[in-house]
């Protein structure tokens, strides 16, 4: 019964969406907004990666909201899992020597790779979120490979808070100096394609990289404690 | 002149900084939301006289719309953000003593982020930004409903989350279709070009957006999550959810319908939907024995009344609807705050267990009575001018249909009066009065209760300043052309 | 045939969306519902990206100083999808933590059996 009703409902919705999508041809020429970003993006923001300039400069407020959403998820997860009973510490079988050494060898390499991705966010595909996810995967490797090692929860919290504050303070500085707008790109734009270009974009992406990495590592840590 | 972007950024920054404050001292964490909300209230109150003359448009990053995101701080936006800051401030003073168990630092962070999300929704002028701040609001509320960690709380939070996530996904599909059709995400820009595509292509994103936002706004039939969620959450969270969160969802629906799409054909449907919601909410509340579920169903009914008023599409109707929104926010917050300590003292949410509260907690019971009477619409409380305005606006349409609908609205009010009177009767006239001593709620709870009572009586007796602000707010909502012109020039 | 090849991305994206919606509406196990939410999110992200595509387009990155501008795809949907993916992950993390606590309380993940809240 429930299946039939759901299928009918979905069929109606599908019909409606199909009628609407007919008017959006696939592969159509760019919209005026897209054109403006591609044509003017280099001079107005200084970043070679136009997606980065859209994410951090033109629509930087959305990115602030997104960072907040991830923060809420980490905080909410800690709040929900906080009131459970303390479980008996199980005897954890230590991992073999190959696994242990391999993980400890790979850990800084993965961190380095993640840092490369978010530092070069304005030059190559990538950025803070992608780099942060890679950093978190390094922590996941440590949890799975060398069992029994944990990251200090205090350090994760402090990193999260500080990086979030860096984002907001950089935005507020835009209010104080330069053109009096929040998130104004007030630092010099530099030469295209060099590392120190694009004003505040690399600074914010580094902050986001740290924040996302520490947040997802914190989420993994909390979930690992359950098992 | 203060930049309205600070209304969003300062609470956000303070909530990021709460763990750092917690490292310094555990005792100052509780005061961070209060500080942020005092700032918000102050700035909103300062901005109200300015935005009545004309909205303040803030360009984020300095890029003109539609190439950048902009905030539209008009009379509606600043009024809502003042309401959010006021109710949020009072409930956070209440929570100083009420929230004692669990991870309190995380509670205060989530609380402040919920209110930041709400403020962001009402101030933004870009539809994807609306989605992001709406998600901030929704996800914090999922986590706060589950805060106590008991069976009822977790179950309600799971059901709320699943329904909310489906709604958000539908909304995102609608936003994607809008971008594909119009090539821009700015609300004023979409409104300007709305006639350039066929009406069926407009209808589908409109329905998807209304469905997605309507889950949070608790419009029938999308409100199955509300009775569970509002009754299982801690009382301070229930006050915020019933008082602020569903109103902000309703604001988003109204903004989408009035400003972006500007359809007048859907308004008739809204009127009927509002009436159905009203009757279902009031009738369901009548048969409840759990006091918080009763209040939750009453919220559904009141949202129905507000939708009915806003759906009439005339200026008096919109003023009445916004007034009812403010009146319900204040009254329902007062009711939940009062009920919170009553439940704590009596140990159960059953109405019959609240016997004799009139003797044990006289001030709190008085607060409950005032809140109940205000909601029903008795003078001299704030509920009276708001309901009066709605009924007068409906009758001014001079159509037989509306006169019949007004009869149903009055029927709903009568049912409301019946069940609230039943609770007041239990509070004062039942139970053995001799063997109960006074154990009143603590002073942190009595301060916000007292301030709410004062506001309810003051605005009920002198509604003129409020209606002046609401007149300019309603003209901003109804006047699309003016909105488009002030944003895009 | 050219109709299919024109709209294949839309058909694929909406296929995922409707599979995800069906799972969320019909299935009983909470973990399956959460997986359905994840599939729904993936479908929506795919739909958003495919709106911005240009015929024979290339990435909007100026890796060399002189690169052809006219064939770059629209960067805005990619920015939207970045945000949407993160929001989807956030909801998923919260849902999974709620599932853990729900199992601790009720001992089952069958949504039809978890009906403590009566009318």
Residues B230, B335: one domain? Answer: no
Chain C residue with Cα closest to B185: C76
- How far is the C-alpha of B109 from the C-alpha of B118, rounded, in Å? 14
Both ends of chain A: CA-CA distance in Å? 38
Q: How near does any CA of chain C get to the CA of A145, in Å? A: 22
State the pLDDT at residue A89: 65
Q: How near does any CA of chain B get to the CA of A32, in Å? A: 7
Asked if B232's CB is within 8 angstroms of C116's CB, the reply is no
- How far is the C-alpha of A51 from the C-alpha of A123, rounded, in Å? 10
Chain A residue with Cα closest to B138: A69
Specify if B4 maps to a domain: yes
Q: Which of A19, A27, A197 to mutate to test the interface with C (most CBs of C within 10 A)?
A: A27
- How far is the C-alpha of B261 from the C-alpha of B69, rounded, in Å? 19
Instruction: Using CB atoms, list chains with 3+ pairs below 8 Å to chain B.
Output: A, C
Domains and CATH numbers, chain C: 2-58+67-106 (1.10.287)
Q: Are B180 and C76 in contact (CB under 8 A)?
A: no
Q: Are B348 and B152 in contact (CB under 8 A)?
A: no
pLDDT band at B188 (very low <50, low <70, confident <90, very high): confident
Asked if B183's CB is within 8 angstroms of A21's CB, the reply is no
Per-residue exposure over B251-287, b if at least 16 CB sit within 10 Å of its own CB, e if not: bbbbbbbbbbbeeeebbeebbebbbbbbbbbbebbee
- How far is the C-alpha of B393 from the C-alpha of C60, rounded, in Å? 54
Mean pLDDT across chain C: 86
Asked if A58's CB is within 8 angstroms of B68's CB, the reply is yes
Its ipTM equals: 0.93
Contacts of A77 in chain B (CB under 8 A): 143
Contacts of C97 in chain A (CB under 8 A): 76-77, 80-81, 222-223
Asked if A59's CB is within 8 angstroms of B68's CB, the reply is yes
Specify if B198 maps to a domain: no
Is the minimum CB–CB distance between C36 and chain B shorter than 8 Å?
no
Residues B91, B143: one domain? Answer: yes
- How far is the C-alpha of B309 from the C-alpha of B424, rounded, in Å? 28
Contacts of A158 in chain B (CB under 8 A): 19-20, 23
Tens-digit pLDDT profile for residues B421-441: 888 888 887 766 665 667 777
Instruction: Using CB atoms, list chains with 3+ pairs below 8 Å to chain C.
Output: A, B
Chain B residue with Cα closest to A34: B183
Contacts of B58 in chain A (CB under 8 A): 182
Instruction: Indicate whether B118 pLDDT > 70.
Output: yes
Mean pLDDT of A159-183: 82
Residues B48, B129: one domain? Answer: yes
Specify if B309 maps to a domain: yes
Specify if B332 maps to a domain: yes
Contacts of C20 in chain B (CB under 8 A): 169
Mark which residues 2-21 of C lie under 8 Å from B by CB: 17, 20-21
Return the structure tokens found at B467: 């209606």
Instruction: Indicate whether C119 pLDDT > 60.
Output: no
CB-nearest to B204 from A20, A84, A171 is A20
Asked if B149's CB is within 8 angstroms of C101's CB, the reply is yes
Residues B230, B274: one domain? Answer: no
Asked if C61's CB is within 8 angstroms of A50's CB, the reply is yes
CB atoms < 10 A from the CB of B356, how many? Answer: 21
CB-nearest to A62 from B12, B110, B129 is B129
Is the minimum CB–CB distance between A62 and chain B shorter than 8 Å?
yes
CB-nearest to C6 from A3, A10, A26 is A26
Chain A residue with Cα closest to C96: A77
Contacts of C53 in chain B (CB under 8 A): none
Contacts of B198 in chain A (CB under 8 A): 23
Overall size of chain A counted in residues: 227
Chain C residue with Cα closest to B284: C119
Residues B275, B150: one domain? Answer: no
Instruction: Indicate whether B298 pLDDT > 80.
Output: yes
Q: Is B432 helix (H, G, I), strand (E, B) or coil?
A: coil
Instruction: Indicate whether B213 pLDDT > 90.
Output: yes
Instruction: Indicate whether B161 pLDDT > 80.
Output: yes
CB-nearest to B162 from C17, C24, C41 is C24
CB atoms < 10 A from the CB of B26, how many? Answer: 11
Region of A46 please: left (phi>0), alpha (psi -120 to 50) or beta: left
Specify if B206 maps to a domain: no
Residues B365, B300: one domain? Answer: yes
State the pLDDT at residue B99: 81
Specify if B381 maps to a domain: yes
Tens-digit pLDDT profile for residues B37-91: 999 999 999 998 888 888 888 888 778 877 888 888 888 999 999 999 999 999 9
Instruction: Using CB atoms, list chains with 3+ pairs below 8 Å to chain A.
Output: B, C
CA separation (Å) from A82 to A213, B61, B98, B113, B400?
21, 39, 18, 19, 58
pLDDT band at B200 (very low <50, low <70, confident <90, very high): confident
Contacting residues for B414 by C-beta, under 8 A, at least 6 apart: none
Asked if A19's CB is within 8 angstroms of B200's CB, the reply is yes
Q: Which of A75, A208, A226 to mutate to test the interface with B (most CBs of B within 10 A)?
A: A75
Q: Are A2 and A15 in contact (CB under 8 A)?
A: no
Asked if C61's CB is within 8 angstroms of A81's CB, the reply is no
CA separation (Å) from B212 to B20, B96, B130, B171, B219?
36, 34, 12, 5, 11
Q: How near does any CA of chain A get to the CA of B110, in Å? A: 7
Contacts of A165 in chain B (CB under 8 A): 13, 16-17, 20
User: Is residue A176 classed exposed, middle or buried when 0-12, 13-18 and 19+ CB atoms within 10 A define those classes?
Assistant: exposed
Return the structure tokens found at B89: 């401030």
Residues B229, B302: one domain? Answer: no
Asked if B132's CB is within 8 angstroms of C94's CB, the reply is no
Residues B334, B243: one domain? Answer: no
- How far is the C-alpha of A61 from the C-alpha of A183, rounded, in Å? 8
Specify if B426 maps to a domain: yes
Chain A residue with Cα closest to B158: A80
Percent helix / strand / coil, chain B, rounded to 5: 80, 5, 20
Chain C residue with Cα closest to A35: C74
B376 backbone dihedrals φ, ψ, rounded to 5°: -70, -30
Instruction: Indicate whether B151 pLDDT > 70.
Output: yes
Residues B228, B274: one domain? Answer: no
E strand or H helix at B56: strand B56-59
Q: Lowest-confidence range among A177-186, A218-227, C56-65? A: A177-186
Per-residue exposure over C35-61, b if at least 16 CB sit within 10 Å of its own CB, e if not: bbbbbbbbbbbbbbbbbbebeeeebbb
Q: For residue B153, what are the domain limits?
A: 1-159+223-256
Specify if B178 maps to a domain: no
Q: Which of B139, B147, B156, B158 to mutate to test the interface with C (most CBs of C within 10 A)?
A: B158
Q: Are A72 and C90 in contact (CB under 8 A)?
A: yes
- How far is the C-alpha of A92 from the C-alpha of B145, rounded, in Å? 35
**Rg of chain C's alpha carbons, rounded to an integer?**
20
Number of domains in chain B: 2
- How far is the C-alpha of B101 from the C-alpha of B279, rounded, in Å? 38
Q: Which long-range contacts (CB under 8 A, 24 or more apart) does B1-5 make?
A: B1/B50, B1/B56, B2/B43, B2/B46, B2/B47, B3/A175, B3/A182, B3/B58, B4/B43, B4/B47, B4/B56, B4/B58, B4/B71, B4/B73, B4/B77, B4/B78, B4/B123, B5/A175, B5/A182, B5/B58, B5/B60, B5/B71
Chain A residue with Cα closest to B69: A59
Count CA within 13 A, CB hemisphere, residue A130. 17
State the pLDDT at residue C2: 63
Q: Is C27 helix (H, G, I), strand (E, B) or coil?
A: coil
State the pLDDT at residue B170: 94
Instruction: Indicate whether A186 pLDDT > 90.
Output: no
Is the minimum CB–CB distance between C118 and chain B shorter than 8 Å?
no
Mean pLDDT across chain B: 87
Q: How near does any CA of chain B get to the CA of A15, in Å? A: 10
Residue C95 vs residue B396, higher pLDDT? C95
Asked if C61's CB is within 8 angstroms of A49's CB, the reply is yes
Residues B244, B280: one domain? Answer: no
CB atoms < 10 A from the CB of B64, how many? Answer: 12
3-state SS track over B272-324: HHHHHHHHHHHHHHHCCCEHHHHHHHHHHHHHHHHHHHHHCCCHHHHHHHHHH
Q: Are C34 and C97 in contact (CB under 8 A)?
A: no
Q: Lowest-confidence range among A25-39, A187-201, C13-27? A: A187-201
Is the minimum CB–CB distance between B140 and chain C shorter than 8 Å?
no
Q: Are C111 and C25 in contact (CB under 8 A)?
A: no
Nearest-CA neighbor of B79 among B246, B251, B241?
B251
DSSP structure string for chain A: -HHHHHHHHHHHHHHHHHHHHTTS-TTPPPPHHHHHHHHHHHHHH--SBHHHHIIIIITHHHHHHHHHHHHHHHHHHHHHGGGSPPPP---PPPPPHHHHHHHHHHHHHHHHHHHHHHHTTTTSS--HHHHHHHHHHHHHHHHHHSTT----HHHHHHHHHHHHHHHHHHHHHHHHSTTS-TT---S---STTSSS-STTHHHHHHHHHHHHHHHHHHHHHHHHHH-
H helices, E strands: number in chain B: 21, 2
Q: Which of B173, B286, B350 to mutate to test the interface with C (most CBs of C within 10 A)?
A: B173
Instruction: Map tokens 């599939």 to a residue.
Output: C39
Q: Are B7 and B119 in contact (CB under 8 A)?
A: yes
Asked if C97's CB is within 8 angstroms of A3's CB, the reply is no
State the pLDDT at residue B431: 66
Is the minimum CB–CB distance between B157 and chain C shorter than 8 Å?
yes
Is the minimum CB–CB distance between B285 and chain C shorter than 8 Å?
no
Residues B144, B287: one domain? Answer: no
Q: Are B36 and B15 in contact (CB under 8 A)?
A: yes
Tens-digit pLDDT profile for residues A189-199: 666 677 777 77
CA separation (Å) from B164 to B74, B139, B252?
28, 9, 15
Residues B355, B452: one domain? Answer: yes
Tens-digit pLDDT profile for residues B230-239: 988 988 999 9
């Amino acid at each position: 019964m429930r299946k039939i009703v759901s299928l009918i409902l979905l069929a109606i919705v599908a019909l409606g969406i199909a009628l609407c999508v007919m008017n959006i041809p696939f592969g159509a020429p760019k919209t005026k907004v897209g054109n403006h970003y591609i044509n003017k993006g280099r001079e107005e923001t200084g970043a070679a990666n136009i997606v980065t300039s859209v994410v951090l400069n033109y629509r930087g407020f959305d990115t602030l909201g997104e960072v907040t959403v991830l923060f809420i998820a980490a905080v909410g997860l800690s709040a929900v899992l906080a009131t459970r009973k303390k479980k008996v510490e199980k005897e954890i079988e230590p991992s073999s020597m190959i696994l242990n050494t391999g993980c400890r060898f790979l850990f800084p390499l993965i961190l380095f790779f993640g840092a490369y991705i978010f530092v070069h966010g304005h030059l190559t595909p990538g950025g803070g979120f992608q780099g942060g996810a890679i950093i978190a995967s390094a922590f996941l490797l440590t949890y799975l490979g060398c069992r029994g090692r944990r990251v200090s929860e205090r350090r994760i919290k402090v990193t999260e808070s500080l990086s979030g504050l860096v984002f907001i303070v950089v935005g507020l500085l835009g209010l104080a100096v330069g053109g009096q707008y929040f998130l104004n790109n007030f630092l010099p734009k530099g030469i295209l394609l060099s590392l120190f270009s694009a004003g505040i974009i690399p600074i914010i992406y580094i902050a986001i990289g740290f924040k996302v990495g520490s947040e997802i590592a914190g989420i993994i840590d909390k979930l690992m404690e359950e098992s | 002149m203060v930049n309205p972007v600070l209304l969003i950024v300062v609470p956000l920054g303070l909530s990021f900084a709460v763990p750092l404050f917690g490292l310094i001292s555990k005792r100052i964490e509780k005061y961070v939301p209060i500080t942020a909300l005092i700032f918000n209230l102050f700035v909103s109150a300062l901005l109200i006289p300015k935005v009545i003359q004309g909205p303040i448009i803030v360009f984020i990053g300095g890029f003109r719309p539609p190439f950048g995101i902009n905030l539209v701080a008009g009379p509606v936006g600043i009024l809502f953000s003042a309401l959010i800051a006021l109710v949020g401030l009072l409930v956070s003073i209440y929570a100083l003593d009420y929230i004692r168990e669990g991870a309190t630092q995380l509670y205060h962070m989530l609380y402040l982020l919920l209110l930041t999300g709400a403020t962001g929704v009402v101030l933004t002028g870009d539809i994807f930004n609306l989605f992001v701040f709406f998600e901030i609001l929704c996800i914090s509320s999922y986590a706060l409903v589950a805060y106590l960690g008991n069976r009822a709380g977790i179950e309600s939070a799971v059901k709320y989350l699943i329904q909310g996530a489906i709604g958000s996904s539908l909304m995102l599909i609608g936003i994607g279709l809008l971008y594909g059709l119009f090539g821009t995400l700015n609300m004023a820009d979409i409104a300007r070009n709305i006639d350039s595509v066929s009406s069926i292509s407009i209808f589908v994103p409109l329905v998807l957006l209304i469905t997605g936002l309507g889950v949070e706004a608790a419009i029938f039939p999308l409100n199955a999550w509300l009775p569970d969620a509002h009754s299982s959450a801690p009382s301070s969270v229930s006050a915020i959810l019933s008082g602020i969160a569903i109103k902000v969802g309703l604001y988003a629906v109204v903004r989408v319908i009035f400003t972006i799409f500007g359809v007048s054909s859907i308004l008739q449907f809204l009127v009927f939907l509002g009436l159905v919601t009203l009757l279902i909410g009031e009738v369901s509340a009548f048969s409840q024995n759990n006091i918080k579920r009763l209040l939750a169903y009453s919220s559904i009914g009141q949202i129905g009344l507000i939708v009915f008023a806003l759906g009439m599409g005339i200026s008096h109707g919109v003023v009445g609807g916004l007034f009812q929104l403010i009146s319900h926010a204040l009254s329902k917050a007062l009711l939940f705050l009062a009920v919170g300590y009553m439940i704590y003292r009596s140990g159960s949410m059953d109405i019959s267990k609240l016997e004799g509260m009139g003797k044990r907690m006289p001030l709190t019971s008085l607060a409950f009575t005032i809140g109940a009477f205000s909601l029903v619409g008795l003078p001299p409380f704030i509920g009276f001018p708001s309901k009066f305005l709605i009924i007068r606006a409906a009758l001014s349409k001079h159509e037989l249909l509306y006169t019949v609908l007004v009869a149903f609205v009055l029927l709903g009010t009568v049912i409301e009066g019946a069940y609230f009177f039943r609770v007041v009767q239990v509070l004062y006239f039942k139970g053995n009065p001799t063997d109960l001593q006074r154990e009143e709620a603590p002073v942190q709870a009595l301060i916000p209760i007292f301030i709410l009572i004062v506001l309810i009586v003051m605005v009920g007796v002198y509604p003129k300043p409020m209606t002046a602000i609401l007149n300019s707010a309603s003209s901003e909502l109804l006047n699309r052309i003016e909105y488009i012109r002030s944003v895009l020039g | 045939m050219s109709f299919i090849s024109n709209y294949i991305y839309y058909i694929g994206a909406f296929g995922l969306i409707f599979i995800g919606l069906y799972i969320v509406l019909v299935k009983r196990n909470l973990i399956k519902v959460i997986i359905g939410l994840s599939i729904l999110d993936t479908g929506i992200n795919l739909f958003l990206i495919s709106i911005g595509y240009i015929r024979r387009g290339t990435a909007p990155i100026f890796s060399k100083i002189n690169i052809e501008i006219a064939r770059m795809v629209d960067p805005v949907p990619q920015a939207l999808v970045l945000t949407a993916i993160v929001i989807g992950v956030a909801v998923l993390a919260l849902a999974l933590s709620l599932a853990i606590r729900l199992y601790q309380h009720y001992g089952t993940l069958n949504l039809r059996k978890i009906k403590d809240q009566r009318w």
